[in-house]
Each structure stands twice: as C-alpha cells, then as structure tokens.
Structure 1
Amino acid sequence: MRVVKMFDSIDENADYSSDLLGQWSETLNLIADIFNISSVLIMKLDCDKIKVFAKNKNDKNPYQIGDSDVLQGSGLYCERVVKTQALLEVKNALKDPDWDKNPDIKLNQIYYLGVPITSRDGEEFGTLCILDDHERTFDSKYHQLLFNLKDNIVNQLHSYDLQRQVMSQQNVDCIEKLICGMAHQLNTPTGISITATSTLNTVFTELSDNLHHKTLTQKQLTEFEQTATSCLDLIQVNLNKTAYLVDRFKQISSQFSSNITEVMIDIFLQGMVNVFKIQYPNNVKFILNTPAKIHLITIPHLLQNALTQLVDNSIEHGFLGRESDNEIVINIEKLNNGIDITYVDNGCGIAKSMACDVFMPFSSLEKGSNLGLGLSVVQNIIVMQLKGQISLCEHEHEHGVKFKIHLPSLSFNDTSH
C-alpha cells in the first residue's frame, strides 16, 4: 500500500486540519440528511491503520474522531475499498456471508456504501463511506453523489497541499534571507578586525626583529605604539559591533518561533525590513513607521510569512518593469488587544475586475506566476491561523495597493496552532 506523504502533514498542521474538518463536517451532515443515514465518515490511512478523520454529527453515529483499527486482514469494509480502489455496497452484512463477521457489526453498522479517496497522482488517502444500523438500498444517483463529494475532497486536499508547499518554501526563503543579511552585516566589522590584527602582527614582527638584532630605535618604538594603539582600538570597536550584531540577530531569529510567543513588534519588523533592504538594495525604498516597545502575542514565523508574501507580490506584480521610484510603506498602530498593520505600495495597483477575487487561489495578474496562491496564502495565515482580518482597501491602477490587517493578541492557552 502506498500512502501519499502530502496527506501526512494534514495531521501535523492543526490549523489546516481544523479548517478542513470544519468544512467537511458540515458537508457530511448534509450528506447524512440527504441519505437519511446515521453515519457518514471520512477515513484516513495512518501507517498500517485506518482512522476516523471526519464524521457527521449525529447521536446515532457510534464512531469518534481518532478511532482506528489495523487495516490489513481486519475484515473491515474499508479494507476492501482501499484494496480494490472501487465502490463497495453491502446492503445487509448479517445476510451476506462475506461480511457477517466484519468488526463494524459490533457497532450494529450492517449497511455500508464507500468509495476510495486518492490524490490526483493516484496515491491513497482513505475512504468516504456511509453506514447504517439497518438494511438499505440506494440507486446509482446516490452513488454518483458520493463520487462527486469524493472528487470535491480530493480537490480541497490538492489546494491544501499547494498552499503548504508555498508556505514551506517561504520558511526556507526566510532562513536564507536571514543568513544572507547576517553575513552581509557581519562582513564589514569582521573584515576590519582581521585587517587590524594582520597589521598588528606585521608591525609586532618587525619590532621583535629590531629588538632581537638590537637595532630598535626610539622612533620605531613610538611608531609601533601609535600603530598598535590604532589597531587595538579598531579591533575593540569592531568586535563590539560584531557582538552587538550577533545579539540583534539572536533577538530577530528568536522571533521566528513556530510557537505562540510574545513578540516586540518594532524589533521584529525592523529586522525584516533590514533583510528586505539587503535583498532589494537599489530599486525599492522600504519605510517602517511603528511606535517603540509594542508587544504582541502571536506566531512570529507566520506573520513573517504573510508580510514577506505581500512584499514579494509587490515586487513581482506591482513593480514589474520598473527600475526605480518603488516604495513600500508599513505602518503599525497599537490597539488595546492587538495591532493594525497598513501595508501600502506605489505600484501599478490591481484592476477593479480582479479586486473581488484577489484572495482566491489561482487568482494572478500573470498566468503561471507564483501559482496564483500568494494572496490566498496571506489571507489563510492572517484569518485562519493568526485569527485576524485582512482587506484590500484601494485597488485603482496607478495608485498602488493598500492592505489593512488587524491582528489580535493570541492566548497562550490556544493550542490550535
């Protein structure tokens, strides 16, 4: 059995799981009403087991989220569906010698109708199935309805995986940018310290030789003292600067925790802006307006991902074909229990015809550019994961774009992240 790895991360990412489960639960409730049936389940393969991943809400549904059984040789209805990758209908297991000993009979689930769920690449996720405590019969129209629902689930999973890939790449890009920025800023003080040390070593060697050969003069000693003092001053100043930069980078990198943590927003955003300035040194002017010492309880790396995606969107679309006079302004306003972020660029803007769909997946000014998922990912992060709001305020051509973001302080007790 080959279980698709992209689906494994659904359990690991609780935010996407809760979002998908919420949508699926409503759909399964509707299917239960249409079929007038007690149990509707989405079953997910998990190594050698199969478990209940989503279910309808019904007092007669005996299954609970997370219930699992070993699949191979279990005699479960779903084992047959996974093995054959075909629809299975058992009208009354008690009357069918092939099914009169299957484990679900213990839960009085004697009717079963199930279809396999596989990715677009043909890799297995699990099953979509309905069960009931008495004999049932459904014609082909209901079978087709179940297949249609299965196709919708596959499409949702595919969209989820694309977003996950984009966010994963953003995390990699973030680390690369941080490392490049650190290397760039450390290069100057480190280089000066190395040069000063080399110079000091040279003049000391010369002094030692003169002393050894008893040719050392007062003038040479005075010159050595002056040179050594200058070199030591340079070394001390630049090593102090290096220590300061390392401490700053430690502060910035600590803000990229994947956990809910308290962030000093001005330091966090200034660190990001410094990286942006290094990445785009000539053609984009970055302006950050933020009060000092604003604290926010949030998930730093997700906030970083969202803002980086907005900047990338401005670079790739708003400033396309422009070599100068490009400007991005980020304004921060402190609220009682959170912050408001206003993100503005002076690029080409977004056409009115696209404004309503700008946060939809695959909505893009350039076909094939960045998969058309950029702003969809931003909205998902801000709304679903950081529990905030984002809106497009201005979208006229020649006037750039303006996004308004509200972020509340999260609770340390919030474990959904």
Structure 2
Amino acid sequence: MSATTPMKPDVQTDRPPVSAQTLAKWQNVVDHISQIAQVPATLIMHTQAQRHDVCVTSGGAENPYSEGQSFQLHDKLYCFGVFENDGELCVPDAAHDPRWRDNTDMEYGMSFYVGLPLKWPDGGIFGTICMLDRRRNIQALSFRKGLRQFCRIVEDDLALLEEIERRKSIEARLQQELESREALIATRTQDLEDANTALRVLLQSVEASRNEVEDRIAQQIRGLVLPHIGRLRQLNGEDARALSHLDVIEANLKNITTAMTGKLAEALADLTPTEAEIVQLIVQGRSTKEIANTLSRGTSTVDFHRNNIRQKLGLTHRGKNLRQHLASLA
C-alpha cells in the first residue's frame, strides 16, 4: 500500500459495542503500559471508516490526548503506518525520519511512537494500541514484546465481545423461534377447540335428528300398526298360539326405538331363528309349556333349545336364571 492510498474501512457494520466493563479493563491496561514503559501516553485507538478516535487513554498530566478525541485517518498519522505495515510500526525519533518528521502527532511533540494493530477475530480492523513520547525512549523500546502481549489481551476481549454478541443473537433467535412455536401451538389448540365445539354441535344436531326420527317412527307404530294388532287379538281371541305371537310382535314394535335392540340384539345374532324366537317368548315371561304350545313343539324340544341358548350366552352355571339374564340385556 502506498502512502497516499486511503485506508479501507472495516466491512462489518454490526460489530458489538465495547462494554463499560471492558473499557475499565483497558484503562488498567494502558495505565500499566505507561507505568512500565515510562511513557506519557498510551492509547487504544478505534478506527471507523476514515475516523480514528481515542478510545482509551492513559492517565497523567503529561498526556495530551483525551478520550473521544477524533482524527481524520491519513498518511501523516502514525497509526496509518501501522495499517500500512499490517503490523508493528516503530518510530524512535520522528524528527530524524523523513517519513514522519511532519506527522500530526508532532503538534504535541510526540516524536517517539510504537504501535500495533488491533483486530477483530475475522481480521477486521478495530484500531491500534500505541505508546508515544516526546523523546527517544529506551525503556519503551525494550517493552515492545510486552506491548504485543497487551495487544493480545485487548484482541481476546474483542473476541469475547463477539462471542457474547453471537450467543445473544442465538438466544434471541431461539426465543423468537420458541415464541413462534408457542403461537403456532396456541393457534392449533384454538383450532382443535373450535373443531371440538363444532363436532359437539354436530353430534347434538345428529342426536336431535335421531330422536326426532325415533319419535316419528314410534308415533307411526302407535298410530298405524298397534291398532291393527289389537284388532287381530280380538279376531283370534281363542287361539292361544296366535295371541302369543301377537304379544311378541307388539312388544318388539314398542321397543323398536329403545335400547332393547342393543345387547339383546347382539345376543340374538348368534342364535338360530328358533332359538331367537324362544328368547323373545322367554323375555315376555312365557313358561316352557306356553312356549311349546305357541311353537307347536314338545316341552323337551324347548328345553333342548333353552340349554343351547344358555351355552351360547355363557350361562354355564345352572343357578343363574335365563329369563333374568335376558331381562338385563333388554
């Protein structure tokens, strides 16, 4: 880089700010350097584009630099030479150095300079750390290695600042993701609640429709069918078998819209037609003899079917009453 080439600014625009705690630490650093190297001024400079500002300055009455003091970065600043070298610049006596005899810091009489670049972890320039004096300082020249160590301390702090900022950014993204997921869960929960509400309304509507249909069927049975069964009972008043069948028909019609068609219907599905007929007569309270007369069968045949029914219904213990069990299913 030539002496007239302008300094390229740091390409990163989202560098983390230097915390007050870190600035306090750097203050101790520059004060220690000034004390050990016996120089009136030790500076940590911060470079942003073409601005070169005093970030931290050592204490002492002989130090002409103040915190926040700003310079325009150009080739007559010692720190410009640091950036040119991309490394240490050592000027033991600027008065005898043609390059630096008219540099800006000579306005303060600072003819002695040792400086190093300060960089972010990615190589971007933060600024410089430097020692200045009004005379050739042998003590400071011998402390150049020590200055490098303090330079590493400051750069470690810069790396720590970026790591803290990175973790904050990750934490913020995670928090944003968490809030987004919580919002999504809340939305889906509300959707499920709305769906459940709609389903309950639908089920209530279906139940109401079912009840309405059952009521209509029951009314039709009572108005259109049962009167004719009553008439048939009058016409067959002396036929016991016919009356028994009519009783079964009437009872089944009355229960056609009730829970009687539930468990008992399931039980009837596993029986033969004759067994199913016997079960319905048992539910009506008919005795074996009455069932035999109704079906024109012998009582032994009815007993045979009753035993088969008991086995199919799982009534293996003879002490359990078949009619009571069938009544519980109805």
TM-score (ref. length: structure 2): 0.54
Aligned partners of 1:7 and 1:125 also within 8 Å: no
Residue identity (%): 22
The aligned residue for residue 190 of structure 1 is 191
Aligned partners of 1:4 and 1:125 also within 8 Å: no
Q: Is 1:3 paired with 2:10?
A: yes
The aligned residue for residue 24 of structure 2 is 22
Question: Higher strand proportion, which one?
Answer: 1
Shift of 1:47: 1.9
Query: Gaps spanning 5+ residues in structure 1: where?
Result: 12-16, 205-218, 221-417
Shift of 1:200: 8.0
What does 1:289-300 align with in structure 2 at a 5 Å threshold?
Answer: none
- Specify the SS of the correspondent of 2:163: helix
Q: Per the alignment, do residues 141 and 91 of structure 1 end up closer, same or farther by CA in structure 2, a change over 3 Å counting?
A: closer
Q: Distance in 1 between matches of 2:61 and 2:170?
A: 43
CA RMSD of aligned residues (A): 3.2
Q: Distance in 2 between matches of 1:104 and 1:132?
A: 10
Q: Per the alignment, do residues 110 and 140 of structure 1 end up closer, same or farther by CA in structure 2, a change over 3 Å counting?
A: closer
Q: Per the alignment, do residues 193 and 67 of structure 1 end up closer, same or farther by CA in structure 2, a change over 3 Å counting?
A: same
Aligned partners of 1:4 and 1:124 also within 8 Å: no
Shift of 1:150: 0.8
Q: Is 1:39 paired with 2:41?
A: yes
Q: Distance in 2 between matches of 1:120 and 1:195?
A: 56
What does 1:254-265 align with in structure 2 at a 5 Å threshold?
Answer: none
State the structure with more CA Rg: 2
- Specify the SS of the correspondent of 2:17: helix
Q: In structure 1, what residue type is equivalent to 2:53?
A: K
Q: Is 1:92 paired with 2:93?
A: yes
What does 1:221-300 align with in structure 2 at a 5 Å threshold?
Answer: none
The aligned residue for residue 57 of structure 2 is 55
What does 1:364-375 align with in structure 2 at a 5 Å threshold?
Answer: none
Q: Per the alignment, do residues 46 and 78 of structure 1 end up closer, same or farther by CA in structure 2, a change over 3 Å counting?
A: same
Q: Per the alignment, do residues 133 and 28 of structure 1 end up closer, same or farther by CA in structure 2, a change over 3 Å counting?
A: same
Q: In structure 2, what residue type is equivalent to 1:134?
A: R
Q: Distance in 1 between matches of 2:11 and 2:35?
A: 31
Q: Per the alignment, do residues 4 and 128 of structure 1 end up closer, same or farther by CA in structure 2, a change over 3 Å counting?
A: farther
Q: Per the alignment, do residues 33 and 140 of structure 1 end up closer, same or farther by CA in structure 2, a change over 3 Å counting?
A: closer
CA displacement, residues 33-76 of structure 1 (integer Å, 9 cap, x when unaligned) = 111111101111212222111121222222222222221x3410
Shift of 1:113: 1.1
Shift of 1:109: 2.0
The aligned residue for residue 160 of structure 1 is 161
- Specify the SS of the correspondent of 1:8: coil
Shift of 1:4: 6.4
Aligned partners of 2:16 and 2:161 also within 8 Å: no
The aligned residue for residue 64 of structure 1 is 66
Q: In structure 2, what residue type is equivalent to 1:35?
A: A
Which segment drifts farther, 53-62 or 24-33? 53-62
Q: Distance in 2 between matches of 1:123 and 1:77?
A: 19
Shift of 1:80: 0.6
Q: Distance in 2 between matches of 1:98 and 1:173?
A: 54
Q: In structure 2, what residue type is equivalent to 1:129?
A: C
Q: Per the alignment, do residues 194 and 48 of structure 1 end up closer, same or farther by CA in structure 2, a change over 3 Å counting?
A: farther
Q: In structure 1, what residue type is equivalent to 2:171?
A: Q
TM-score (ref. length: structure 1): 0.43
CA displacement, residues 85-121 of structure 1 (integer Å, 9 cap, x when unaligned) = 1211222323332212211122222221111122444
Aligned partners of 1:44 and 1:126 also within 8 Å: yes
Question: Higher helix proportion, which one?
Answer: 2
Q: Is 1:103 paired with 2:104?
A: yes
